Amino acid sequence: MKDLIVFDLDGTLAESKAPLDAEMAALLGQLLAVVPVAVISGGAWPQFQQQVLAQLPDDDGMENLSLLPTCGTRFYRRHDGAWENEYSEDFSVKDRNRIVEALNESLDASGFRAARSWGDVIEDRGSQITLSALGQDAPLAEKKAWDPDFRKREKIKALLETRIPGFSVHLGGATSVDVTRPGIDKAYGIGKLRDMLGVAITDMVFVGDALFPGGNDYPAKQAGVLSIAVRDPHETKRVIEAIVACRS
């Protein structure tokens, strides 16, 4: 029995950029009634609001929920009925401009700039800047088909690392490449949960769909958290059901 259940978002609680479905929202509500829960993702705060908060009941269970956008460089909890950002570790304007320029140059040099995109290809998330090769609003089927073997993004990542050696570059969702300060990944977010909530890493469970070496959830496993690998939100639902049954 652990004291904190931590989830990845895209591919784990919901499909990429999609809201929680009704069954997942209901199950998370049940889980929040019996144990604290946290969600860590590379996504920005508005993504959490749309995908997670808008789907959950606005009740006392929300006091048990911690949300960590951009891999924990921001931390949100609810106090007196309102969500508050407890800290934010944003890039300077100079660094943002340098990263955006390098992302554009690397995408062009890779030869993989898409002829069509849906929404912004580069998104400034404050403490993380993300390239979404098909745009932030691309259809899920298009995203899944674009780079299933990671080959395109690995090339973009390699080109980018030569241009901004002072930053960390990670593969994100189905089409994304994330740029953060060095050491910013889900292990960093796990450390922030430990410090902010006072929960030992050995008392956490992490659930994610990319816990394989090189996956964007793998750093959480490396941080020493007991980790449960899932293939999709359907499997996550079964994990939540099992935890709720044990806690009840």
Domains 4-89+184-247 and 93-180 share a fold: no
Q: What percent of the chain has pLDDT over 90?
A: 79
The mean pLDDT of 56-78, rounded to a whole number, is 92
- Asked whether the beta carbons of 65 and 38 are under 8 A apart, the reply is yes
Distance CA 101, CA 186 (A): 25
What one-character DSSP code corresponds to residue 111? T
**Cα(36)–Cα(164) distance, rounded to whole angstroms?**
38
DSSP class of residue 63 equals G
For 246, the 3-state DSSP assignment is helix
Confidence of residue 76 (pLDDT cuts 50, 70, 90): very high
The domain ranges of the chain are 4-89+184-247, 93-180
Which residues, 6 or more positions from 77, have their beta carbon under 8 angstroms from its beta carbon?
A: 65, 66, 67, 83, 84, 86
β-bridge mates for residue 226, sequence order: 205
Q: Tens digit of pLDDT for each residue in 3-30?
A: 999 999 999 999 988 999 999 999 999 9
Q: List Cα–Cα distances, 32 to 3, 5, 25, 195, 235, in angstroms.
A: 12, 9, 10, 20, 18
* Average confidence (pLDDT) over 155-181: 91
pLDDT at position 44 over 90: no
Q: How many Cβ atoms sit within 10 Å of the Cβ of residue 36?
A: 19
- The CATH code of domain 4-89+184-247 reads 3.40.50.1000
Is the pLDDT assigned to residue 53 strictly greater than 90? yes
Tokens of 53: 């908060």
Q: Residue type at 244? A: V
- Give the pLDDT confidence of 86-112 residue by residue, as tens digits: 988 889 999 999 999 999 999 999 999
Right CATH for 93-180 from 1.10.240.10, 3.30.1240.20, 1.20.1050.10, 3.30.565.10: 3.30.1240.20
* Residue 81 scores a pLDDT above 90: no
C-alpha distances out from residue 170 to 102, 114, 198, 209, 226, Å? 14, 20, 28, 16, 22
- Residue corresponding to tokens 């932030």: 136
Position 171 pLDDT exceeds 90: no
To 5 degrees, how large is the angle CA 171–CA 176–CA 179?
60
Please give the pLDDT value at position 71: 85
Alpha helices, H only, the chain: 22-32, 45-51, 93-110, 140-146, 151-163, 186-197, 218-222, 233-247
Q: How far apart are CA 101 and CA 177, in angstroms?
A: 14
Name 108's Cβ contacts closer than 8 Å, sequence gap at least 6.
none
| Amino acid found at 136 | Q
Indicate if the alpha-carbon torsion angle 201, 202, 207, 208 is positive or negative.
positive
Q: To the nearest whole number, what is the mean pLDDT of the chain?
A: 93
Output the pLDDT for position 234: 97
